[in-house]
Amino acid sequence: MKKKIKVMVISIVVIVLITDIFAGNYFYNLAIKREQKDFLQGNEDLTVSATAMDVFLQGGWRQWVSQQDFNEWELESFDRQNLKGYYLEAKEPTNKTVMLAHGYLGKAKDMGLYGQYYYEELGYNIFMPDARGHGQSEGDYIGFGWHDRLDWIDWTEKIIKYTGAETQIIWHGLSMGGATVLMASGEEHPENVELIVSDSAYTNVYELFQYQLKRMYNLPAFPILPTSNLITNLRAEYSLVEASALEQVKNAQVPIIYFHGNNDSFVPAKMAEELYRHTATDKDLILFDNAGHGEAYAIHEEKYQEHLKKTLLKYID
């Protein structure tokens, strides 16, 4: 009888382990592996307001982007991935360049929504790269900002070599791009970086996935996320825990301004508030009413530009 119970217990444990490994791999493939992502379709947290949708899909910025003559740049990453980026020199000579980081499942020129303002109104050079695993860049996984932070610093150094030692650089990122620039903030980087603008960023990848597991699937983090974390470490060589913008901003070296929508239910505004509290440098936090995830600029363009310009004038010569 005891032997039967022992066999039964062992069988149950094995089944649970196999199920957990399957679930961990499934979640990795769902969120991190580079492939077509359908799971976000129909997600109420990503439902875009009619006002924002008009700007995203039909805004004049799209035509503007299509009319620009971007220089296409290439970069070999630390792990030998070929990355692509797009540089547009200002109409008049300037020492000011903004680097724009796109969000999850996006691509470089999506950031033309912001680039048009920097270029046309502020007279900046603009640079927009495809993150690893996105657009024309290589990579069979999505880094959620962690490996991307090193790519970002390499791109920064390339820009300095091209534009000169006196160039002043702004890092401006949206969602995953916002987390990317925050993760880069805690690394040793060129002193040319004068300001970081982070829009709709998350604190760390583990907490983001934990939040989404509960909200989208009504599932607890344990045991799926620890197993997914292990699988991510094995397959993509980073962990969901170490990929932390929150830990990085504790060592930030330049001022950071945070933008976030109060109605963001995909990356809740409390994450921006937590990032703000732990930021080691000069900082500011601007929240936008009635704005969902990544909608602040589209819905409150004038307010967004006002705060952005005021901050640029404060920190950029």
**Between the CA of residue 79 and those of 82, 151, 224, what are the distances in Å?**
9, 10, 28
* pLDDT beyond 50 at 129: yes
Q: Mind listing the pLDDT tens digit for each residue in 61-101?
A: 999 999 999 999 999 999 999 999 999 999 999 999 999 99
Q: Mind listing the pLDDT tens digit for each residue in 21-62?
A: 556 678 788 889 998 766 555 556 556 677 788 888 878 999
Which class for 57: exposed (0-12), middle (13-18), buried (19 or more C-beta within 10 A)? exposed
The pLDDT score that the predictor gives to residue 20 is 47
pLDDT mean over 276-294: 97
**Domain chopping of the chain, boundaries:** 49-315
**Between the CA of residue 261 and those of 59, 199, 270, what are the distances in Å?**
20, 9, 10
**Between the CA of residue 59 and those of 54, 102, 128, what are the distances in Å?**
6, 17, 19
The pLDDT score that the predictor gives to residue 55 is 85
The pLDDT score that the predictor gives to residue 11 is 46
Q: Mind listing the pLDDT tens digit for each residue in 145-165?
A: 999 999 999 999 999 999 999
- What whole-number distance in Å separates Cα of residue 223 and Cα of residue 113? 40
Q: Looking at the domain covering 49-315, what would its CATH class be? A: alpha beta
pTM value > 0.75: yes
pLDDT mean over 181-187: 98
pLDDT mean over 245-269: 97
